[in-house]
Amino acid sequence: MILETERLLLKPYEHEFADEIYRVVKHKEIADTMVMIPHPYPREVVDSWISYLQKSFEQGTAYEFAVFLKENGRYIGNCGLVAISKNHKNAEVGYFIDVPEWGKGYATEACKKIMDYGFKEHQLNRVYSRCMVRNIASRKVMEKSGMVWEGRHKQEFLKGDVYEDMDYLAILAEDYFKDKE
């Protein structure tokens, strides 16, 4: 299954993408504001991460996609539904985009497509996301995707030796579809 937007192709992860993924995830700037990406990022971790993503996809616990530019087929990041709760019909949207591609709207474009996928294909009731308070660009992606601010969790996450506050934004299916009418 491939999801398509105006400028992007979102594909399920394959091991053949490993070197391209490593080229992106090894950037300190990406790890700096991501909860689960360490720096330095060991190359050998990429292969086990892809296996984990494939297993999660098969089990329906997460649907993460590799993001490629249509124009040249280059891998530029990740976007997907993570932490899916089938019982409660909600999921978190997670994403990252390669540093040279920041500010071009790719994260918002991918996020909107993943939200559409979640609401239409998986009948989710709620999609949410979170970001470190200092990650203003990520918060803007969430807002441009239609999510609204729900609250702040103080010192929720320890990054290095600094506790990070996290902002939570979300959208409900009823609001998502109301905006589509």
Q: Tell me: the pLDDT tens digits for 125-140?
A: 999 999 999 999 999 9
What's the pLDDT tens digit per position in 25-41?
999 999 999 988 888 89
User: Per the structure block, which two tokens stand in for 88?
Assistant: 């409660």
39 within 8 A of 32, measured Cβ to Cβ: yes
CB atoms closer than 10 angstroms to residue 27: 16
Any idea of the CA torsion for 163, 106, 83, 33, to the nearest 10 degrees? Answer: -10
Long-range contacts of 23-28 (CB under 8 A, 24+ apart): 23/75, 23/98, 24/75, 24/76, 24/77, 24/96, 24/98, 25/96, 27/98, 27/99
Name which of 162, 124, 113, 145 is nearest 10 in CA terms: 113
- Does 14 have pLDDT greater than 80? yes
What's the pLDDT band for 112 if we cut at 50, 70, 90?
very high
What's the pLDDT band for 16 if we cut at 50, 70, 90?
very high
Percentage of residues in the chain with pLDDT exceeding 70?
Answer: 99
The rounded mean pLDDT for the chain is 96
Q: What is the pLDDT of residue 36?
A: 84
Q: What is the pLDDT of residue 180?
A: 73
**Separation of alpha carbons 147 and 126, rounded Å:** 10
CB atoms closer than 10 angstroms to residue 38: 11
Long-range contacts of 23-26 (CB under 8 A, 24+ apart): 23/75, 23/98, 24/75, 24/76, 24/77, 24/96, 24/98, 25/96
144 within 8 A of 46, measured Cβ to Cβ: no
Q: What is the pLDDT of residue 59?
A: 96
21 within 8 A of 48, measured Cβ to Cβ: no
What's the pLDDT tens digit per position in 26-80?
999 999 999 888 888 999 999 999 999 999 999 999 999 999 999 999 999 999 9
Q: What is the pLDDT of residue 38?
A: 85
Percentage of residues in the chain with pLDDT exceeding 90?
Answer: 93
- Does 179 have pLDDT greater than 90? no
User: Per the structure block, which two tokens stand in for 127?
Assistant: 């999609």
Record the pTM: 0.95
Assign 22 to helix, strand or coil.
helix
